[in-house]
Structure 1
């Protein structure tokens, strides 16, 4: 039933399988890619015709992670996959960027490439597999795709490169780099690194390029078995005559426009030249509309030829700089008074307001993905409003570009952040682009680094970033530092490098041609290093080290650990105790399963009160130590005092003051704050306290001035001896039961034998009027201290 074609290779010590013909057979090209037990399906469909008047290439890539792939049900109310997550958006861009330049000029048929993760083993990442499947599906579809491309992820640990490392290996290593490449050149690079040198980064790119050759060969093998007939393309029109006419009409005007260094003035002059072109060829608008539109479409190409030719010929750029000079930089911190950290970073006509906000653990971002729930304590959000380029446009939720630029800046700053144990805060950096003329993502890196330091986040070192461009004509090329927006649009490469004084933290490359060589990358990395150093020196003029104090408006977090067996005492039944601590003190309290407690508030007194309360719940009282307490109950013989948060002890009436206290309520009242000293803790845990030996104002211990209790008269009473006959029992004895209030007749208790004799005058004569014997207890004699 199925005409299945399959290719298998050993790649990085694992079996990679590419299969077609069994699934999604109605698509123009569909490939099922399997690595380990991770399976990705990519289906490609292409429109057979072009909409009238369309003059752009509508390629759309969708990457989707099915929760069933990991045996999970999605969270949320609807329990199904809905809008694209941030990761899905980023992987969609990762696939789009290397394949888009490989379609021929003038091909405007709409194409959909849909990649779905069907199975995930938790070890082999599906993003690389999706890139491979998309490349294979396009190659066998018959559409004019100048591929295939291969892709690989590279790690770096202990001086060795790792091919397709697992998530755990990436965390343990110093590099997470993704490369897409054709057989001859590199097409795309995306990476995060822990301050690695240019040599190590270039070596990683070349390592990935070599590894991707196996993928390319496997896709070619599959295409030889299953590729559909290639589409027939219309012959490429010779546009040299039209270009000559256009250049004659507005060439001088464009050359003059691109010598203007101010962006607004330059745009005005360019628009005037375009208007002149429409007027010059207005006679064709009615007689030959296709010729008219075709000629006007060449204006952009004429602009590119003028700009690119001037740079290669003279080494001078649109704004008058040479190829290596960075535009003027202005940086200032503490730009916003209430933000925890802020910076205004301006480079030429690109500007951002970067803010850092610190929060507690409950502000972490929860991410529901194939690996289950995870929590992110560092977020970076990039916003690009239309006014930043002087335009009217959509303003609202971030698009794919904003998500991608924000993630690039996140990767650049993430390697220098402290760990959660070192700095237990949730960190959010926001970059609001207020002006843009080239590399707002690298401005975000610079502004974000300054705002982090202004907020007091102890980053390892400041991070700067720079965007590099490329003009390539045959064997001649020029690498441009700190490119303008026009140089980005008219050039061949967008090569972004961020890092510290010690090394690179992030590298991203996108190109518009069929790849670049190792030589060009080496030149770009070296030139970027000089540019980063210059930018970093300018940033240091504003702030070179992290502030030692957090903003007064930022929450403070104090961390300490208690014994795990005491956790329930802090939480209480149903969370009663911890809720009471939070409600009473005003501080936030977070406790994990290991007994690590984080107490946070912008008010230090609230933190101190909560910590004191918690420690009082878990610490054991010490004999001889003085504590703050609160009277919780008054009784005739003293007062019960709560101290150490959750412990009560008794202050006997004799321990309230040195003087005699007749009535406890005359001296103390419930809720009164007192200072007490622990006198004794009995084996049952009962605590005896004293107030009289503590200065109630200062809490200092006082000398016990109360005289020692005198011995009773008579000294040693000696043995009691024979107590003799105690005489007749009083009337109404127990046997009678007829005394007032008597208990009635006793039950028969049997013969108990003769009672022991008691001496005359023994203490059985409780009703006698004579003096009490000398061995009578104090409550009978009244002889009480």
Structure 2
């Protein structure tokens, strides 16, 4: 197999796509390089899996430790299950590609992406998205792409394509955009309150680069691509669909207009069960072939019933303007919320929108509670996390109880991105923050409920966020003629039967988070403009409702939360504060009951639940690390007596000598006549020599009697 390579400058770096050299036994493989970051993407197509009602495509993304010259962590020193970054990247790769396969295609497709080299500047996630799409385009799978993925940043008003990690540190926008020549079909955004107009401009800027990368993939495909092979479609016999429409179409239309989710679902299930009982009676003969034929017929009817629900729902909305719960197209479901619902949490909130509920708690911690993230990038710590939980009872189901799945991790990351943009500066608010959103009812937009509830919990905890944040989802419904409408605040069925779930979160000032999931080929920039405006109007309504409950963050932290005091010391005094083998810092912590954390720049963070303990600890640290100045008066303790004078500790670990002639006015025959061991006396600093030795005077201090500190 000949090696085929294409190159193009994207941004200010060269993107290279190569095939034909590595992984030649896979259906297709592409090695993508950008800067010194390299990703291998492979595609394997297996046999169809009859009976499935979904497309079995699996996307796997792994960051190999050698790519950054590292060893994997842990005892085994081997790569383990995917971490959070890898899971989020898998979702990001999957979402723009899945809608571009034909309906009814059920061949198993496996896409694997390996990061083989990482230069710590050009992140591998967007490169993997492009590499995976290129590999699918080269394969014989009926992929109707290709797509391309890019990242857009903004520094001082200037948009940047595929910003480096260093540039992202200064960017107020982190947008990942995927699409093809017919439009945009995936957006993920984290932003610092960027306006709708600027967000739209960033989208248009990124889309131009997407089209350039797509042209590059098309060039590679024209040279090395395989002929597409559709396979056996999983089509439903037309007569079954027609029979179901004739027999129960009117009943389904009536049931689709029942407002309550539970009542609506129960009625639809009754209609389906009655139809199956009439059309597919139980096989009494026990004949194996007859039993299997009945099972296959039921499976087809199940899919036909789902299609009937979908068509009925779309027709009711497009032709009659009727949503399942009776709302107008731009109407938000009823809101209910409360702050401070749990007495022992640092912050808590209840948020309900229609039949979707979120219980949110906010916990404040110290630097010791930060999450350490160790991947291919240099190790860093996170001061804010949001964890999203979706138990089976929230949809009235009994399922296996497991740890967080990919969906939960993805929803939590979206809600986290949406709130990061309004958090206070760590220098002003040095707390570590964790929000937990437990979904207790779900009928659509639970991630946006987590944003609203999480914001309210932060405010209840007294976190001085810059602005109130809310989130809303906008849906889309269309028919074969091209007619479409946008729906504000979609419920679960509108998401399932619709074309789109466009989640937007932000404040009055601008957008902080976006996630677009699309079942269509793509959206044009003009339509995205309409969607963002519809989301903005709804978002402002929710913000008003939140601020009616809690207008601003509480002025004081919860009494349950730790108190953190920040002070600055001379970095050269860090060793003195810590002491030999940590002896000094441990002693202070034991005496006061507070915790001390010291940073390399001399920042000292003192934390305690008891405010008095923190103040006592602060006093000791300041006394220990204070800079002794000539002419200053201190209270000190006599720690040693000599014939020529005494030594007085004026701060922990800092003492000076009082000569016998400086103990008192007049002649002093013996030091013991004036002071004894352990006496507390007032002294004045006369001088400090080049070796740091301090000369003190009790006599001079007695004349002024205004001590600067206590020993």
TM-score normalised by structure 1 residue count: 0.83
Identify the residue that residue 4 of structure 1 maps to in structure 2.
3
Matched, 1:243 2:241: yes
C-alpha contact (below 8 Å) 2:658/2:695 kept by paired residues? no
* Contact 2:105-2:233 at 8 Å conserved across structures: no
The question of 1:191 aligning with 2:189 is answered yes
Do residues 337 (structure 1) and 336 (structure 2) align? no
SS at match of 2:107: coil
Alignment of 1:404 onto 2:413: no
Match of 2:448? Answer: 442
Give 1:441 deviation, angstroms.
0.5
Cα displacement (A) at 1:46: 1.4
Alignment-derived partner of residue 116 in structure 1: 114
Q: Tell me the CA shift for residue 134 of structure 1.
A: 0.6
Residue aligning to 1:470: 476
Change (3 A) 1:693 1:63: same
Q: Distance between the aligned counterparts of 1:690 and 1:271, measured in 2?
A: 96
2:506 maps to 1:533 = no
* Counterparts of residues 189-338 of structure 1 (less than 5 Å): 189-234=187-232, 237=235, 239-283=237-281, 286=290, 288-289=293-294, 290-338=296-344
1:94 paired residue number: 92
- Distance of 1:332 and 1:13 partners within structure 2: 50
Give the counterpart of 1:490 among 483, 494, 497. Answer: 497
Kept in 2: contact 1:61–1:95 (CA 8 A): yes
Partners of 1:653 and 1:249 lie apart in 2 by 113
1:429 matched residue in structure 2: 435
Distance 2:72 2:234 in 1: 49
Q: Which residue of 1 aligns with 2:287?
A: none
Where do 1:690-729 residues align within 5 Å? none
Secondary structure of residue in 1 paired with 2:29: strand
Distance in 1, matches of 2:478 and 2:256, equals 19
**3-state SS in 2 of match to 1:215:** helix
Match for residue 461 of structure 2? 455
Instruction: Check conservation: 1:616, 1:646, Cα contact below 8 A.
Output: no
Task: Give the C-alpha shift of residue 410 in structure 1.
Answer: 1.0
Structure 1 CA distance for aligned equivalents of residues 668 and 248 of structure 2: 108
* 2:649 aligned partner: 642
Cα distance between partner residues in 2 of 1:666 and 1:280 = 113
Partner of 2:15: 16
Distance 1:694 1:455, change over 3 A: farther
- Whether the aligned pair in 2 keeps the contact of 1:35 and 1:129 (CA below 8 Å) is yes
SS of residue paired to 1:304? helix
1:376 aligns with 2:382: yes
Q: Counterpart of 1:163?
A: 161
Q: Which residue of 1 aligns with 2:139?
A: 141
Point out the more displaced range, 496-505 or 614-623.
614-623
Rg comparison, structure with higher value: 1
Note the alpha carbon deviations across 1:551-582, whole angstroms, 9 max, x for none: 11212222222222222211222222112212
Per-residue displacement from partner, 1:678-726 (whole Å, max 9, x unpaired)? 375575424344799599xxx978xxxxxxxxxxxxxxxxxxxxxxxxx
675-684 or 90-99: bigger deviation: 675-684
Report the more deviating stretch, 475-484 or 68-77.
Answer: 68-77
| Alpha-carbon distance in structure 2 between the residues aligned to 1:201 and 1:125 | 22
What secondary structure does 1:91 align onto? Answer: helix
Q: Is the 8 A contact 2:105 2:230 kept in 1?
A: no
Question: 1:517/1:653 Cα in 2 relative to 1: closer, same or farther (>3 Å)?
Answer: same
Give 1:39's aligned residue.
38
Q: Does 1:394 align with 2:403?
A: no
The yes-or-no answer on 1:358 pairing with 2:364 is yes
Cα distance, 1:523–1:539 mapped onto 2, change above 3 Å: same
Equivalent position of 1:598 in the other structure: 605
Which residue number corresponds to residue 687 of structure 1? 696
Deviations 1:33-86 (A, max 9, x none): 111221110011111242x43332221111111121122222332222211111
C-alpha contact 1:652 1:689 (8 A) present in aligned 2: no
Give distance in 2, aligned partners of 1:323 and 1:574. 67
Instruction: Look up the match of 2:522.
Output: 515
Matches within 5 A, 1:550-699: 550-621=557-628, 627-630=634-637, 632=639, 641-648=648-655, 674=680, 676-678=682-684, 680=686, 684-689=693-698
> 1:604, CA displacement in angstroms?
2.1
> Please, which moves more after superposition, 410-419 or 590-599?
590-599
* Of 511, 515, 527, the match for 1:504: 511
Provide the C-alpha distance between the structure 2 equivalents of 1:531 and 1:666, rounded to a whole number of angstroms.
83
Distance 2:5 2:541 in 1: 53
Q: 5+ residue gaps in structure 1?
A: 702-785
Partner Cα separation in structure 2 for residue 238 and residue 553 of structure 1: 60
Which range moved further: 407-416 or 149-158? 149-158
**8 A Cα contact 1:30 1:137, kept in partner:** yes
Partner Cα separation in structure 1 for residue 459 and residue 210 of structure 2 = 40
**SS at structure 1 position matched to 2:58:** strand
Q: Which residue of 2 aligns with 1:174?
A: 172
Contact 1:28 1:45 in 2 (8 A): yes
Q: Counterparts of 2:2 and 2:631 in 1: how far apart (Å)?
A: 88
8 Å CA contact 1:90, 1:403 repeated in 2: yes
Offset, 1:628: 4.7
CA distance in 1, matches of 2:344, 2:646: 49
Note if contact 1:612-1:645 (Cα within 8 Å) is conserved in structure 2: no
1:375 positional shift = 1.1
How far is 1:636 from its partner?
9.3
* Counterparts in 2 of 1:295 and 1:679: CA distance versus 1, 3 Å: closer
Q: Is the 8 A contact 1:479 1:523 kept in 2?
A: no
Provide the C-alpha distance between the structure 1 equivalents of 2:307 and 2:408, rounded to a whole number of angstroms: 27
Distance 1:139 1:120 in 2: 25
Q: 1:453 to 1:236 in 2, by over 3 A?
A: closer
Q: What is the aligned length?
A: 695
Aligned-pair CA distance for 1:625: 5.3
Shift of 1:250: 2.3
Is 1:417 the counterpart of 2:416? The answer is no
Pair 639,402 (structure 1): closer, same or farther in 2 beyond 3 Å? same
Instruction: Kindly indicate whether the alpha-carbon contact (under 8 Å) linking 2:685 and 2:694 is maintained by their aligned counterparts in 1.
Output: no
Whether contact under 8 Å (1:336, 1:342) holds in the other structure is yes
Aligned-partner Cα distance in 2 for 1:663–1:268:
100
CA distance in 1, matches of 2:453, 2:668: 69
State the shift of 1:638 in Å. Answer: 8.8
More off after superposition, 164-173 vs 612-621? 612-621
Distance 2:627 2:216 in 1: 69
For 1:236 and 1:344, how far apart are their aligned partners in 2?
Answer: 44
Q: Residues 724-763 of structure 1 correspond to what in structure 2 (within 5 A)?
A: none
Name the SS of the counterpart of 2:270 in structure 1: helix
**Aligned pair in 2 of structure 1 residues 402, 681: CA closer, same or farther (>3 Å)?**
same
Structure 1 counterpart SS, 2:228:
coil
CA distance in 2, matches of 1:623, 1:155: 53
- Residue equivalent to 1:150: 148
In structure 1, C-alpha distance between the alignment counterparts of 2:229 and 2:216, rounded to whole Å: 22
Q: Distance in 2 between matches of 1:168 and 1:79?
A: 29
RMSD of aligned Cα (Å): 2.8
Query: TM-score normalised to the size of structure 2?
Result: 0.91
SS in 2 for 1:162: strand
| 1:365 Cα offset (Å) | 0.8
Per the TM alignment, residue 653 of structure 1 is displaced from its structure 2 partner at its CA by 10
Distance 1:170 1:628 in 2: 51
In 2 relative to 1, CA 26–93 (structure 1 residues): closer, same or farther, beyond 3 Å? same
* Alignment gaps of 5+ in structure 2: 284-289
Aligned-pair distance for 1:546? Answer: 1.6
